[in-house]
Structures are given as structure tokens and as C-alpha cells.
């Protein structure tokens, strides 16, 4: 079942890259007590993700925070080393990269996709959500191949 507005995020574990190496991040503690703009990409370093999705959230970070967002996070079914390298290459210092290496989060929220025909295996769909204290306030899931409703600009219009 796909997660919906008003649902509490399921408990899963992400991994983020830190100065000390990979560290686990429990979703329940990460999303507790704050409003998070979370967006999911099918893969780090992939064309739309690198050229438009991540840069949009980098460019609009100050505007999102001015509208009440405490933190901006990106998730993908990639390992923390790839997510860390992508963050560095994109100068995404203000974005928390939450690696979902095994796809546990994508599966738990019902937003996985089969990218096998592109050699990607099971990945997370392209989406964005506003999560307030662990509860989904907004959910924007893209149609396959689209990049419209999961953008930072679209989210700004919702806030």
C-alpha cells in the first residue's frame, strides 16, 4: 500500500555519510519534531536527478526554509558512498543525503519501481513529500518519466 497524506512514516533505517564514515539514521528520530522537505530520486548521478531535481532543492533551500521547512533531505536507493560523492559533486551542503541502499524505505512507503530494463534493479520512484513530526503533510508522486510535481518549485507553491 502506498503511503498517503496524513500517514505516519514507517520506521526504517537510512545511512548517511559523515566525516567519520557511514552512520545509521533511524527514520523515527530523524523526522521527529521538525518539518522536513524530503525528495526521492531514482538514482544519484542520473540525468534528471543531477541536472534538475537536486539542483532545484539546492537553489530553493532558503525559500523553503523561509516557508517553515526545517530541513531538506534527499533519498535514493544508492549506497552512502555514492550519496556522499553526489552531494560533494553537486555542492549540496544544505541537503541531508539519506541512502536507502537496500530500498527498505521505498518499499515501506510503497513507492518502489522496477528499473531493471535500464539496469537499475528496484529503485525508489521520483517523489517529494513534506513530513511534519513524522507525518506526511504533502505527497507528490511523479508519473513514470515525468518531472513536474516533485520539484522544489512545486513544493514551494504548496507551502
Residues that are catalytic = 49
Closest CA to 120 of 106, 139, 137: 106
CA 76 – CA 65 distance, rounded (Å): 22
- How far is residue 139's CA from residue 142's CA, in Å, rounded to a whole number? 10
Amino acid at each position: 500500500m502506498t503511503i498517503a497524506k496524513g500517514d505516519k512514516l514507517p520506521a526504517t533505517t537510512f545511512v548517511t555519510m559523515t566525516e567519520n564514515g557511514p552512520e545509521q539514521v533511524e527514520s523515527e528520530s530523524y523526522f521527529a519534531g521538525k518539518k522536513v522537505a524530503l525528495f526521492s530520486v531514482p538514482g544519484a548521478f542520473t540525468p534528471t536527478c543531477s541536472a534538475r531535481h537536486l539542483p532545484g532543492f539546492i537553489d530553493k533551500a532558503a525559500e523553503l526554509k523561509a516557508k517553515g521547512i526545517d530541513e531538506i533531505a534527499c533519498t535514493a536507493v544508492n549506497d552512502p558512498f555514492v550519496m556522499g560523492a553526489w552531494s560533494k559533486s553537486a555542492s549540496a551542503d544544505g541537503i541531508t543525503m539519506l541512502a536507502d541502499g537496500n530500498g527498505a524505505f521505498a518499499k515501506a512507503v510503497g513507492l518502489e519501481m522496477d528499473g531493471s530494463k535500464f539496469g537499475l534493479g528496484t529503485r525508489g520512484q521520483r517523489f517529494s513529500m513534506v513530513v511534519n513530526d513524522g507525518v506526511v503533510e504533502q505527497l507528490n508522486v511523479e508519473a513514470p518519466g515525468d518531472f513536474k510535481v516533485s520539484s522544489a518549485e512545486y513544493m514551494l507553491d504548496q507551502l
